[in-house]
Amino acid sequence: MSGLLSQVDFGVIRRRVREFSGLTFEDDKCSAVSKAVCARMDELGLEAPDDYLKLVDAGASTEEIAALTARLTIGETYFFRNKNHWRAFDEYVVPTILEHNRSNGRRRVRVWSAACSTGEEAYTAGIALRERVAGLDGEGVEIIGTDINPESVAKARTAVYTANSFRGVPDGIRQRHFEEVAPQRYRVKDGVRSLATFRLLNLLAEGEMASMRGFDVVFCRNVLIYFDKRTARAVLGSLRRSLRPGGFLFLGHAENLHGTASELQCREVCGTFIYMRASDESAGRHDDPSETLLGEDENASRGRYVQPASPGSDSAAAATARVSGGDIIDIPSPAGPPVPNDASSTASATDHEAESLDRLGARAIECLCSGLNVDARKWLEEVLAQRPDDVTCRLGMALLLAGCGDSDAALHYCNSVLQDDPLSAEARCVTALVHEGLGSYEVARRELEKAIYLDSRFSVAYFRLALLHERMGSREAGDRALRSAIATLGDDDDQRVRLYSGGYGKEAIEQICQRRLGELALTAPSPQGRGG
């Protein structure tokens, strides 16, 4: 198959992949899907596109849909990805689990790495457990890694990795837990490898998911962002049921509970957020067998952390818990919208709710501007759980995640805004910030230039472009951008300047620009020196 799929053909394939795996592909992914289809046609020896489309659309070839999905789900992963997650796992989650097991007579710690890709996450859990608990073996821990991609599962079973998988590994870990089997190829040692098993599993397959029960910890990171809201909520319900009461769920930074699963309580641990399944008693109900994987309770709680208590109740003031250094500190939940006395005042209630979300969003942005990132994230997630299309909060979350070093999640939020509004200068500016952090200076420069083209009065875009030019050694271009930043500051919005500059006000930005211009003038080559 040459060229792009037609929109009709793309729609057929997109529908079948979504039905099988839950993966959702927007219209701009037609090219990527086309390449995967071409590769599958070559492997199958098919020349006519219609032959492949008939095979896919027939509905009988689950194996072919699985093979195509595998080509569309090549995961990016490495050992100890997201260090704060693993710090929380080591310093809080594991000790909590071990104490629970001692008091309940349980012997084994059970961990599930859902969507494990090539296995780095599952083996990281094994390494962390071995580092924490001396002499731990298969009698004391069970780690299961699952993925929908058979090639990824096969690689996980070999347990052999290249240097690229070690870019987040702490000092000494590779020496203690890996052995070099070929130049720049390392295999997980038996002590950790024996703890983990891997198998195929589709997160949308009810029968397979029903077999995954009683886990102390479930990792399902950077998966839900590829599902639509309905599918994500269904998968979250299954993941919750996979945890024992008191068990822990790790999601990716760009993911939230989508307003469901009130039994999952959000906790801040070691500078990150994790989720704990409440006991059946404290949650107020047991698992409901009528909750099917594709079901969706439209009346589910829209609260971000736990089921909201009635206004004014004692429990409303302690709906969440912040955990830091092992101490649990109650955090009051954000005030909910006023409850109208008259049941007929639906429109008034909706207005009040929108006003409440507006206040939360403004509070989140102000916290972000002030460097209060934990509070900012709490409010941002609260707003986005109920109003996921909020542009300012999506970009605020992108800025926060970029500052935490989670580039993939930050770009996800930027791209979501650009899909809705390709002319968003602010989204281009944040995208540039992420790429600059990755060292992709040329990409960052182009994005900032697009931001300025879209909004010629965007002073922070000029300011960031000036600093980028300096890093790239473009003195004259940096000089011009600094002068443009100064010239546009007066007309720019105060809060926009603070938000996209990292908290600096207009006066501070102007002082920085003037100082940089002075430094550039002092270090500029003399006219005599230029001629040799």
336 lies in a domain? Answer: no
Closest CA to 482 of 431, 446, 521: 521
Task: Please tell me the predicted confidence (pLDDT) of residue 182.
Answer: 94
Same domain, 402 and 451: yes
On whether both 89 and 210 belong to a single domain, the answer is: yes
3-state secondary structure of 250: strand
**pTM for the predicted model, two decimal places:** 0.54
State which of 72, 97, 128 marks the end of a domain: 72
Residue 148 and residue 129: Cα distance in Å, rounded? 26
Answer yes or no: is 489 within a domain. yes
Helices (H), 159-260: 173-177, 190-193, 206-210, 229-242
Residue 313 lies in a domain: no
Q: Cα–Cα distances in Å, from 203 out to 22, 62, 207, 443, 467?
A: 8, 15, 10, 35, 45
Question: How many CA atoms does the CB half-sphere of 262 hold within 13 Å?
Answer: 19
Same structural domain, 92 and 68: no
**22, 110: one domain:** no
Q: How many whole angstroms separate alpha carbon 268 and alpha carbon 285?
A: 25
Integer Cα distance of 483 and 513 in angstroms: 8
Dihedral of CA 449/450/452/458: which sign? Answer: negative
* DSSP per position, 415-459: HHHHHH-TT-HHHHHHHHHHHHHTT-HHHHHHHHHHHHHH-TT-H
Same-domain pairing of 23 and 97:
no
Q: Which amino acid is at 230?
A: R
Q: Is residue 528 part of a domain?
A: no
Positive or negative torsion for Cα 79, 81, 87, 90? negative
For tokens 């990824």, name the residue: 152
Whether the CB-CB separation of 498 and 504 falls below 8 Å is answered with yes
Residue 517: CB atoms within 10 A of its CB come to 16
Residues 462 and 397 occupy one common structural domain: yes
Whether residue 503 sits in one domain with residue 408: yes
- Do 259 and 119 share a domain, yes or no? yes
Last residue of a domain, one of 248, 283, 318: 283
Sign of CA dihedral 222, 225, 228, 230: positive
Quote the pLDDT of residue 460: 93
- Alpha-carbon Rg of the chain, whole angstroms? 26
Strand bridging mode 141-147 / 109-114: parallel
| 197 and 218 belong to one structural domain | yes
CB count, 10 Å around CB of 20? 18
Helix (H) or strand (E) holding 247: strand 243-251
Same domain, 158 and 134: yes
Tell me 9's DSSP state.
H
Count CA atoms closer than 13 A to 158's CA, side-chain side. 13
Q: Distance between CA atoms of 145 and 156, rounded to whole angstroms?
A: 8
> Which of 343, 85, 125 has the alpha carbon at shortest distance from 216?
125
What does the pLDDT read at residue 10? 76
Q: What is the CATH number of the domain that holds 150?
A: 3.40.50.150
- Specify if 318 maps to a domain: no
Three-state secondary structure call for residue 307 = coil
**What CATH number does the domain containing 405 carry?**
1.25.40.10
- Give the C-alpha separation, 239 to 203, whole Å: 9
How many domains are there within the chain?
3
> Does one domain contain both 397 and 468?
yes
Looking at residue 353, its pLDDT comes to: 59
Report how far residue 333's alpha carbon sits from residue 315's, in angstroms, rounded to the nearest whole number.
10
Strand 178-182 versus strand 215-220 pairing type: unpaired
Start-to-end C-alpha separation, the chain = 60
Look at residue 298 and tell me if it is in a domain: no
d(CA 324, CA 213) in angstroms, rounded, equals 29
Give the domain CATH number at 50.
1.10.155
* E strand or H helix that includes residue 160: strand 160-162
Q: Is residue 153 part of a domain?
A: yes
Backbone angles phi, psi at 329, to 5 degrees: -120, 125
- Is 232 within a domain? yes
All residue ranges of the chain with pLDDT < 50 are: 1-2, 281-350, 526-532
Cα 138 to Cα 440: distance, rounded to the nearest angstrom? 44
Q: Which of 72, 94, 120 is the last residue of a domain?
A: 72
Q: Which residues pair with 265 in a beta bridge?
A: 276
Domain housing 405: 387-523
The answer on 22 and 115 residing in a single domain is: no
pLDDT tens digits along 122-161: 999 999 999 998 777 767 899 999 998 888 899 999 999 9
